[in-house]
Amino acid sequence: EKGGFEHFMLKEIFEQPRSISDCMRGRLDSATGRLVLGGLREYVNKLVNADRILIVACGTSWHAGLVAEYFFEEFCRIPVEVEYASEFRYRNPVVREGDVVIAISQSGETADTLAAIELAKSKGAIIFGVCNVVGSSIPRATHAGAYTHAGPEIGVASTKAFTAQLTVLNLIALIVAQKKGTITEQKFHELLVDMETIPAKVEKALKLNDQIKVIADTFKDASNFLYLGRGYNFPVALEGALKLKEISYIHAEGYPAAEMKHGPIALIDQEMPVVFIATQDSSYEKIVSNIQEVKARKGRVISVVTEGDKLIPKMSEFTIEVPAVHEALMPMVSVIPLQLLSYHIAVMRGCNVDQPRNLAKSVTVE
| Footprint on this chain of ligand F6R (rule: CB under 6 A) | 58-61, 105-107, 110, 113, 156-158, 242, 246, 362-363
Euclidean distance between CA atoms 58 and 238, whole angstroms: 13
We find the least distance from the C-beta atom of residue 361 to ligand F6R, in angstroms, to be 7
3-class DSSP state of 196: helix
We find the least distance from the C-beta atom of residue 136 to ligand F6R, in angstroms, to be 9
Residue with smallest beta-carbon separation from ligand F6R:
59
We find the least distance from the C-beta atom of residue 285 to ligand F6R, in angstroms, to be 32
Q: Which is nearer to ligand F6R, 132 or 316 (CB)?
A: 132
Q: Which is nearer to ligand F6R, 39 or 299 (CB)?
A: 39
Kindly report the number of other CB atoms within 10 A of residue 152's CB atom.
Answer: 10
We find the least distance from the C-beta atom of residue 341 to ligand F6R, in angstroms, to be 14
We find the least distance from the C-beta atom of residue 106 to ligand F6R, in angstroms, to be 4
* Contact in structure between 159 and 206 (CB atoms under 8 Å): no
Q: Which is nearer to ligand F6R, 155 or 299 (CB)?
A: 155
We find the least distance from the C-beta atom of residue 283 to ligand F6R, in angstroms, to be 26
Three-point CA angle 152, 156, 161, nearest 5°: 45
Q: Which is nearer to ligand F6R, 60 or 167 (CB)?
A: 60
Q: Which is nearer to ligand F6R, 144 or 157 (CB)?
A: 157
DSSP code of 345? H
DSSP string, 255-322: EEGGGGGGTGGGG-STT-EEEEE--SSTTHHHHHHHHHHHHHTT-EEEEEEETT-SSHHHH-SEEEEE
Where are the alpha helices (H) located in 137-233, listed in sequence order? 137-141, 160-180, 185-206, 209-219
Phi-psi region of 334 (alpha: psi -120 to 50; beta: other; left: phi over 0): alpha
Q: Which is nearer to ligand F6R, 119 or 157 (CB)?
A: 157
